Structure 1
Amino acid sequence: MGLITVSGLGKAYKTYPTRLSRLAEWLLPMRGPRHALKWVLRDVSFQVAPGEAVGLIGINGAGKSTLLKLITGTTQPTTGGVAMHGSVAALLELGMGFHPDFTGRQNAYMAGQLLGMTADQITVLMPQIEAFADIGEYMDQPVRVYSSGMQMRVAFSVATARRPDILIVDEALSVGDAYFQHKSFDRIRQFRKEGTTLLLVSHDKQAIQSVCDRAILLDGGRLAREGRPEEIMDYYNAMIAERENDTVRQQEAAGGKVQTVSGTGEATVADIALLDETGERVEVVDVGSAVTLEIRVRAHAPIPRMVLGYMIKDRLGQPMYGTNTHLKELPLDDVRAGEDVVYRFAFPMNLGPGTYSVATAIVSTETHLVNNYEWRDLALVFTVMNMRRPHFEGSAWLDPAVEIQRT
C-alpha cells in the first residue's frame, strides 16, 4: 500500500547580487557566503495515508510544483525529507522526458522504463496504452508534431498502464479535451477503489471535491490550511477574491461544517429562508414542489450598484444551480446606507433527494472579483425528500414523457 510522509520539507535557491559574487564565493570560500537564500517552500509537513486521496491547491507560485518535484525526487530538498512506501507513478510537467524527435511509441517505452517497467512488460501493455491514448496513427509519428493534449494522452496512458501504489498527478490533465478528462478521472477513481494512494494538484474545484478525501492549501510556500475539500476550496476561492483585503474568515456552522465568509461588509445577508407555497419557512422540501428562496440584504454603506447571487450546492459542494440579479438584468443602483432589500427567487425544487446548501454573494457585477461586499458559504442548509414521486436516481428531477412504439 502507498504511504507518503512529508516532514519539515523546505527548498531554497541561492541568489547572488552579481555574477562576480558567485565566482568570488567559489574561488574564496573561506571569506564566507556571498549569496542570499530565496525560500520557495518552507516547513511543510503532512502525511497521505494508504488509499487516501489528497488534493493540493494554491495560486500560481505557491510552491505546488516544487513540492511535487521534491516528493518525486526530481529536486533535492534544502531541509526536511520525504518517505514513500510502494510503487510510484507521477505525471508532472506535460511530456516531461519525452524526446521530440522520437515517436510516441518510442517515448512510451522510455517513459515506462523510467517508471520501473521492463521493455517486455511495456510490449505486453502497449496495446492497452495505445487504446487508452486513442491517437491513432500519431502513435508512430514524432512527438514534435503532437498537440499538448496528445502528449498528455500518451503520458497519462503510460503512467497508468499498471495500477501504482501511489499516483501523483499535476495540472497536466487540465490541457486535455473533455472526453479524455472524463476517461482519465474514471481511471483514477477505479485506482482509488483498488487502493491506490492519490496526490492530485488541480485548480478544478469539482475534481478536488469529487475525487479527494482531504485538501491541502499552499500559500507563499507554506502549508496554510488542510481539511475537507469543500471547506478548503471555499476558503481558497474566498482568498483569491480577497487577496488584498484579508477579510476571509471561517467559523463552524451547525452540523460541524465550516462556513467561509469574506467581503468588505458594506452589505450583508441579514436573513435567508426557504419558503413553501403558503409562505412558511421550511427545512425539508418535497421533490418538484414550488418554493421561494427569500434573502434579506442590509446595506451598511452607500452602494452605487448592488447585485445579489446565490448558488445551490450538493453535500459535496458541487454546484447544482446558480444565478444572480446581474444575469437576470435586475441590479439595484444607489442603495442607501441602512436600507433593507428583500429578494425572492421562486422556482420548482427539481432536485433529487439529499442535503443541499445555499451560498450567497453580494457584489457589484457578475463576479466577486471586483467589489465583494459579502460572500457567504453555507448560508442556508435544507433537505430534499421524495414523498410523492416514483423512485428515481440522480441529483435532478427530469421526469420524461415516455413514448414506446412496437412494430
Structure 2
Amino acid sequence: MSLLSVKNLGKAYRVYASEFQRIGRWFGLPTRPSEEHWVLKHINFSIEPGEAIGIVGQNGAGKSTLLKMITGTLQPTEGTVTVNGRIAAILELGMGFSPELTGRQNVYHAAGLMGFSADQIHEVIDDIEAFAEIGEYFNEPVRTYSSGMQMRVAFAVATAIRPEILIVDEALSVGDSYFQHKSFDRIREFQQQGTTLLIVSHDRGSIQALCDRAILLESGTVIKDGKPEEVMDFYNAIIAEKENATVSVRQLEDGSIQTRSGSGEATIESVSLHDAAGQMVEYVPVGEPVTLRIKTQINADIPELVVGYLIKDRLGQPVFGTNTHHLDCKLTDLSAGESPEYRFDFSANLGVGSYSVAVALHTADTHLARSYEWLDLAMVFNIVNISKDEFVGLAWMPPSVECVR
C-alpha cells in the first residue's frame, strides 16, 4: 500500500460575476465562473514507504500549491490525496507562529496544531530547544527573531518526533550553513529509520544527495518523473532553453539518460580524455595528469564562444567545473564552418570511483546567457588507485604529517 497517493489532482482559482453565483456553486447549482485559472492539473503519482522524492520546477510551476494540498491546508478543485501516515511539514517560514508569543510558547502552539498532546510536547521541549540553538531567544517573542532563527525553531518542532512523511519546502534555504548541515543530518537519520521524504528545492545538490526519485513540474503538470540526475539534467536544459533551442533526451547503451539542449549554432563534435602520452583513456590513476579534449563545430556566425565542462560523481553531484570565460581564453567573431578544439590540462586529484563530464557551449560566464549546446554525460571515466596510500572521499589531498609525543 502506498504511503501517499495523488490521483488526478488539480487546483483552479475562479472568479465569479457575483457572490450569489459563488455561493450557488457551493450548493451544486450550475454556475459558470467568469474567469478560471488552473495552477495544477492532472497530477498523478504515488510514494512508497521510505522513498525520498524531490519536487522541482521553475517559479510558478505549482510546487508549493501541490504541497499545501498534500498537507490539507489547501483544498483541491479536483482529484484526491490519500495519506497513510503522519505528516510533518515545513511549508512556510514560521509555521503560523504568533509574533507576540515566545519561541517556547509557539512550540506548544504549533505542536498542538500538529496533533501532539501537551504531555508529548513536554517530553521533547528540551530537545527542541537544544536542537534550535538560539539560546535565551527561545524565551523571547518571535517578533525579535531573524528569519534564520524562526527556521531553526520551526524545523526543530516539525522533526521533534519522527514522522512517517516529512515535507520540506524551500524554507530551509534561509538557514545558515551550519544549521543546514545539521538539518540535513537529521533528515538523513530519519530516512535511515524509514521516514518518507518529500522535498522542494532548486538546489541540485540537495535533491541528488537526499532523493532517489525526482518529479519535474512545468506549467502545472508533471513532465518528468525519474532518477534525480536525469530529471535535474532535463530541468537544467529547460532553464537554458531559448526561442530557437531544442531539448532532446536519449537512452545510452548502459541505460543512463543523456540530455542535450541548445540553439545548435555551435555543437560539440567529440569529448575525450587523454593521458600524458596523448593516449585516450577510460581509467585514470589517482593524481595522474590528463587532458580533456573538446572538439566543436561552428554552424552559424556567432559573436563569441565559451566552452565549459563540469565533472560529476556517480550520483550527479558537481565535483568541479569551469569554463574558458573564467580561464580568460575566449574566442570571438567565429564564422560558420570553423572547428575550434579546446584542451584542458589538469591532474586527476579525485577519489576512486566513476565520474561523468557535462560540456556546455555558450556566451558570457554561464550557459544561461545564450546556450548553443549543453550535453550531459558527454563522457564517463573511472579513477583507480594504483600507487597512492589508501584514502576515502571525492578528492585526493595528501597531507604531510608530524607525530609529536
TM-score band by shorter chain is: over 0.9
Q: Secondary structure at the match of 2:391?
A: coil
Alpha carbons 2:170, 2:201 under 8 Å: kept: yes
Residues 8-45 of structure 1: per-residue CA shift (max 9 Å, x gap):
101111124xxxx2246358887843423211110100
Q: Which residue of 2 aligns with 1:331?
A: 330
**CA distance in structure 2 between the partners assigned to 1:145 and 1:80 by the alignment:** 41
Amino acid aligned to 2:34: H
Q: Secondary structure at the match of 1:235?
A: helix
Q: Secondary structure at the match of 1:117?
A: coil
Q: Which residue of 2 aligns with 1:304?
A: 303
Q: Which residue of 2 aligns with 1:7?
A: 7
The answer to which of 3-12 and 243-252 deviates more is: 243-252
Shift of 1:149: 0.8
Q: Which residue of 1 aligns with 2:121?
A: 122
Q: Secondary structure at the match of 2:340?
A: strand
Report matched runs for 1:242-253 at 5 Å: 242=241, 244-253=243-252
Alpha carbons 2:14, 2:33 under 8 Å: kept: no
Report matched runs for 1:150-189 at 5 Å: 150-189=149-188
**CA distance in structure 1 between the partners assigned to 2:251 and 2:339 by the alignment:** 27
Amino acid aligned to 1:374: E
Q: Secondary structure at the match of 1:125?
A: helix
Shift of 1:211: 0.3
Distance 1:353 1:280, change over 3 A: same
Q: Which runs of 5+ in 2 are unaligned?
A: none
Q: Does 1:64 align with 2:60?
A: no
Amino acid aligned to 2:13: Y
Q: Which residue of 1 aligns with 2:355?
A: 356
Q: Secondary structure at the match of 1:340?
A: coil
Q: Does 1:25 align with 2:24?
A: no
**CA distance in structure 2 between the partners assigned to 1:28 and 1:294 by the alignment:** 68
Q: List structure 1 runs of 4+ shifted beyond 3 angstroms.
A: 26-32, 243-246
Alpha carbons 1:8, 1:79 under 8 Å: kept: yes
Alpha carbons 2:215, 2:231 under 8 Å: kept: yes
Q: Which residue of 2 aligns with 1:104?
A: 103
Q: Secondary structure at the match of 1:321?
A: strand
**CA distance in structure 2 between the partners assigned to 1:31 and 1:67 by the alignment:** 27
Alpha carbons 2:168, 2:198 under 8 Å: kept: yes
**CA distance in structure 1 between the partners assigned to 2:244 and 2:95 by the alignment:** 38
Shift of 1:302: 1.2
Alpha carbons 1:2, 1:166 under 8 Å: kept: no
Amino acid aligned to 1:311: L
Shift of 1:244: 3.9
Q: Secondary structure at the match of 2:278?
A: coil
Shift of 1:310: 0.5
**CA distance in structure 2 between the partners assigned to 1:112 and 1:345 by the alignment:** 55
Q: Which residue of 2 aligns with 1:395?
A: 394
Q: Which residue of 1 aligns with 2:138?
A: 139
Q: Which residue of 2 aligns with 1:231?
A: 230
Q: Secondary structure at the match of 1:271?
A: strand
Distance 1:120 1:245, change over 3 A: farther
The answer to which of 359-368 and 205-214 deviates more is: 359-368
Distance 1:246 1:328, change over 3 A: closer
- How many residue pairs get matched? 402
Distance 1:28 1:341, change over 3 A: closer
Shift of 1:68: 0.5
**CA distance in structure 2 between the partners assigned to 1:391 and 1:340 by the alignment:** 42
Shift of 1:246: 5.0
Q: Which residue of 2 aligns with 1:45?
A: 44
Shift of 1:124: 1.3
Amino acid aligned to 1:394: G
The answer to which of 243-252 and 179-188 deviates more is: 243-252
Alpha carbons 2:242, 2:262 under 8 Å: kept: no
Report matched runs for 1:335-346 at 5 Å: 335-346=334-345
Report matched runs for 1:248-397 at 5 Å: 248-397=247-396
Amino acid aligned to 1:125: V
**CA distance in structure 2 between the partners assigned to 1:106 and 1:149 by the alignment:** 18
Shift of 1:2: 7.7
Q: TM-score, normalised by structure 1?
A: 0.96
**CA distance in structure 2 between the partners assigned to 1:27 and 1:392 by the alignment:** 69
**CA distance in structure 2 between the partners assigned to 1:149 and 1:2 by the alignment:** 35
Alpha carbons 1:22, 1:35 under 8 Å: kept: no
Q: Which runs of 5+ in 1 are unaligned?
A: none
Residues 251-285 of structure 1: per-residue CA shift (max 9 Å, x gap):
11231111111100111111111001110101111
Distance 1:28 1:62, change over 3 A: closer
Amino acid aligned to 1:356: Y
Residues 219-273 of structure 1: per-residue CA shift (max 9 Å, x gap):
1111111100011011111101115445111111231111111100111111111
**CA distance in structure 1 between the partners assigned to 2:106 and 2:139 by the alignment:** 10
Q: Which residue of 1 aligns with 2:204?
A: 205
Alpha carbons 2:245, 2:263 under 8 Å: kept: no
Alpha carbons 2:242, 2:370 under 8 Å: kept: no
